[in-house]
């Protein structure tokens, strides 16, 4: 009997949590016009979040491109189709690795700092103080950061893919000596703007919503103590990473109809 | 009954966090133009009263009236309208750590009033002058002392010229000089600007000196209220314990526990 009650209570708590999360998400989305009216706030945070992640995104993109070219060349070579290396590198990056890895890196680099910032603002009663000044912290603090994150992840994903392709070119063409003409030519023929690049951009947008929302909500709901903020930051990384990977599977299945 | 002489009035308020009751039938009046002190042991619900007045918490039953409006039943728009007429000083100032002293004070002005930057600058410098920190305008919250931070927060709370000022533990953790300064400021601002002030504190001496009215909260109820002198001479044992700072009395020194003999294993031995 006790077990049933326990399961019931846990289910109710979970449902309430989902409800609160949904309500906050809807509010943030509906605050888009307010953010547009004060786009300066969004721009500042885009600058901040983007700059924050630019170095790690570029360096990671470069190395992922390197490795893709090495591994891809090894496999393609066996079938005598090393000329398709450019297409392989570009498709892997644009469809999968660009969106997913940049979302994961953004989580680690910027998501954690968002959670900690909001959590500490809450702990320092700054959010309460804002409420008492008749300023809605969701509108003034959360929404600009949310939309900045949503807009910045696609940009970071694009940079990741672009740098990765350059990395692939450096290893594949410059180092191994794959023919440059077929490297770029196959890439141009094999990558479709809408089916591949477009779907990649949609993925990064979805991940932008996901990661920004999880990071902000964890900060906003954090226990206002050092321990609480620490746990919220950890939860951001775990939840955002798992959600991104799970969503990636769903999106891939929907988009590329395998 | 509800005379306009009271800016704020609480009527039979019951409030609890989860299952733990904090306020059990509290009624009190805050007379317009006066400094009302709210005293009592830590965790006794003093800050909760401020949050109820600010509409950040809703009472489970009873009414919290601010200018005859029940704060617990306002729409969000009306609530935000009412809050613009209140200023609140948080325990540790709650300054925005990413903004300078100047920008902290300017924040509510820039958010609410469509003023030119020159006007904002004049108002901010006036408010900072009132708390003696015009010279500290370019410093950041991490570069100033706790007492200064609270004065900046006071300037910020006054930026929109509120009618009601609420102070949450304005004296906690201040050195004697800052403490005296803070107390004098609260009194002076109240009188000079025609404010109504509520001070939550457990610093007896300083609070009794500046308050017109003292309310003592204990065990979720009002133990005593009146002028500082009336409260000081109250015969209620609980009030006496508080006023004379005795460690044991109606408020127990020991947290409720099973008998000591049982805890140390003596009772079992005998059995």
Q: How large is the average pLDDT for residues A125-143?
A: 92
Contact assessment for residue B6 and residue B27, using Cβ atoms and an 8 Å cutoff:
no
Q: In the structure, what pLDDT confidence band is assigned to residue B271 with cuts at 50, 70 and 90?
A: very low
Contact assessment for residue A213 and residue A25, using Cβ atoms and an 8 Å cutoff:
yes
Q: Given this model, what pLDDT does residue A27 score?
A: 95
Contact assessment for residue A54 and residue A158, using Cβ atoms and an 8 Å cutoff:
no
The answer on pLDDT for A148 being more than 70 is yes
Task: Choose the weakest-confidence range: A30-39, A171-180, A219-228, B179-188.
Answer: B179-188
Q: How large is the average pLDDT for residues A175-194?
A: 93
- Is residue A13 in some structural domain? no
pLDDT digits (tens, 9 = 90+) for B110-132: 988 888 999 999 999 999 998 88
| Residue partners of B164: CB distance under 8 A and separation at least 6 | B7, B8, B30, B53, B66, B85, B86, B87, B195, B196, B197, B198
Q: In the structure, what pLDDT confidence band is assigned to residue B242 with cuts at 50, 70 and 90?
A: confident
* Cα first-last separation, chain A: 46
Q: How large is the average pLDDT for residues B20-42?
A: 87
Which residues from B are below 8 Å from A128, CB to CB? Answer: 56, 90, 94
Alpha-carbon distance B167 to B89, whole Å? 5
| Domain, as residue range, for A205 | 31-256
Strands B6-17 and B61-66: antiparallel
Which residues from B are below 8 Å from A131, CB to CB? Answer: 54, 56, 83
- Is residue A76 in some structural domain? yes
- Is residue B249 in some structural domain? no
pLDDT digits (tens, 9 = 90+) for B58-91: 888 888 999 888 888 888 889 999 999 999 998 8
Share of chain B above pLDDT 90, in %: 29
| Domain, as residue range, for B139 | 97-161
Q: In the structure, what pLDDT confidence band is assigned to residue B138 with cuts at 50, 70 and 90?
A: very high
- Is residue B154 in some structural domain? yes
Please tell me the total count of domains within chain A.
1
> Minimal Cα distance from B153: which residue of A?
A129
B160: Cα within 13 Å, side-chain hemisphere: 26
Give kind and range of the element (H or E) at residue B10.
strand B6-17
- Is residue B243 in some structural domain? no
Q: Given this model, what pLDDT does residue A185 score?
A: 94
The answer on pLDDT for A208 being more than 80 is yes
Q: Who among B81, B95, B108 is closest to A133 (CB)?
A: B108
Q: How large is the average pLDDT for residues A102-123?
A: 95
Nearest to A174 by CA among A98, A101, A85, A103: A85
Contact assessment for residue A207 and residue A250, using Cβ atoms and an 8 Å cutoff:
no
Residue B62, helix vs strand vs coil: strand
- Is residue B144 in some structural domain? yes
> A126 and B80: CB-CB below 8 Å?
no
| Residue partners of B144: CB distance under 8 A and separation at least 6 | B101, B136, B152
Strands (E), B132-255: 164-168, 196-200, 213-218, 221-226
Alpha-carbon distance A172 to A239, whole Å? 36
Q: In the structure, what pLDDT confidence band is assigned to residue A197 with cuts at 50, 70 and 90?
A: very high
Angle CA(B70)–CA(B74)–CA(B77) in degrees, nearest 5?
Answer: 140
- Is residue A165 in some structural domain? yes
Q: Who among A120, A124, A128 is closest to B56 (CB)?
A: A128
Q: In the structure, what pLDDT confidence band is assigned to residue B1 with cuts at 50, 70 and 90?
A: very low
Shortest Cα distance, chain B CAs vs residue A159, angstroms: 29
- Is residue A110 in some structural domain? yes
Q: How far is CA A239 from CA A113, A153, A242, in A?
A: 15, 17, 5
Q: Output B254 or A66, whichever has higher pLDDT.
A: A66
Q: Given this model, what pLDDT does residue B232 score?
A: 84
**Summary mean pLDDT of chain B:** 86
Q: Given this model, what pLDDT does residue B2 score?
A: 45
Please tell me the total count of domains within chain B.
1
Contact assessment for residue A113 and residue A52, using Cβ atoms and an 8 Å cutoff:
yes
pTM as predicted: 0.87
> Minimal Cα distance from B162: which residue of A?
A133
Q: Given this model, what pLDDT does residue A258 score?
A: 54
- Is residue B111 in some structural domain? yes
Q: Model ipTM?
A: 0.82
Q: How far is CA B77 from CA A34, A126, B208, in A?
A: 16, 21, 37
Q: What are phi and psi of B143, to 5 degrees?
A: -100, 0
């Amino acid at each position: 009997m006790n077990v049933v009650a326990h399961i019931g209570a846990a289910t109710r708590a979970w449902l309430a949590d989902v409800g609160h999360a949904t309500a906050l998400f809807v509010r943030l989305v509906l605050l888009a016009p307010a953010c547009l009216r004060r786009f300066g706030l969004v721009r500042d945070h885009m600058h901040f979040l983007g700059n924050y992640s630019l170095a790690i995104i570029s360096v990671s993109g470069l190395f992922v491109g390197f490795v893709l070219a090495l591994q891809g060349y090894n496999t393609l070579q066996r079938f005598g189709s090393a000329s398709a290396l450019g297409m392989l590198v570009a498709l892997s990056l644009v469809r999968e690795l660009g969106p997913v890895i940049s979302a994961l890196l953004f989580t680690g680099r910027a998501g954690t700092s968002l959670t900690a910032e909001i959590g500490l603002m809450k702990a320092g009663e700054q959010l309460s103080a804002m409420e008492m000044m008749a300023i809605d912290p969701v509108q003034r603090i959360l929404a600009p950061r949310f939309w900045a994150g949503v807009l910045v992840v696609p940009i970071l994903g694009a940079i990741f893919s672009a740098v990765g392709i350059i990395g692939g070119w450096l290893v594949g063409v410059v180092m191994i000596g794959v023919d440059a003409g077929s490297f770029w030519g196959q890439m141009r023929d094999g990558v479709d703007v809408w089916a591949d690049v477009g779907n990649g951009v949609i993925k990064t947008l979805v991940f932008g919503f996901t990661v920004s929302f999880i990071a902000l909500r964890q900060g906003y709901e954090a226990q206002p103590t050092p321990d609480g903020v620490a746990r919220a930051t950890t939860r951001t990384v775990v939840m955002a990473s798992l959600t991104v990977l799970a969503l990636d599977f769903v999106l891939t299945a929907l988009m590329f109809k395998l | 009954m509800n005379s306009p002489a009271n800016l704020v009035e609480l009527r039979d308020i019951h409030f609890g966090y989860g299952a733990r009751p904090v306020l059990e039938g509290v009624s009190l009046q805050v007379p317009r133009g006066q400094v009302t002190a709210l005293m009592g042991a830590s965790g006794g619900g003093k800050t909760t009263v401020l949050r109820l007045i600010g509409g950040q918490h809703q009472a489970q039953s009873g009414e919290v009236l601010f200018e005859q409006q029940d704060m617990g039943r306002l729409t969000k728009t009306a609530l935000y309208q009412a809050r613009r007429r209140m200023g609140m000083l948080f325990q540790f100032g709650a300054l925005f750590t990413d903004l300078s002293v100047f920008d902290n004070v300017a924040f509510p002005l820039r958010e609410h009033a469509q003023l030119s930057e020159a006007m904002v600058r004049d108002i901010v410098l006036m408010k900072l002058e009132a708390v003696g920190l015009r010279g500290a305008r370019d410093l950041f919250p991490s570069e100033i002392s706790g007492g200064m931070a609270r004065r900046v927060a006071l300037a910020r709370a006054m930026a929109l010229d509120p009618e009601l000022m609420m102070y949450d533990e304005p004296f906690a953790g201040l050195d004697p000089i800052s403490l005296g300064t803070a107390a004098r400021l609260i009194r002076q601002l109240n009188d000079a600007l025609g404010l109504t002030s509520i001070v939550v504190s457990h610093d007896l001496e300083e609070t009794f000196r500046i308050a017109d009215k003292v309310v003592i909260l204990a065990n979720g109820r009002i133990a005593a209220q009146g002028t500082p002198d009336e409260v000081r001479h109250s015969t209620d044992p609980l009030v006496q314990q508080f006023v004379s700072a005795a460690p044991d009395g109606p408020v127990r020194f020991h947290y409720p526990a099973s008998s000591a003999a049982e805890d140390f294993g003596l009772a079992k031995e005998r059995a």
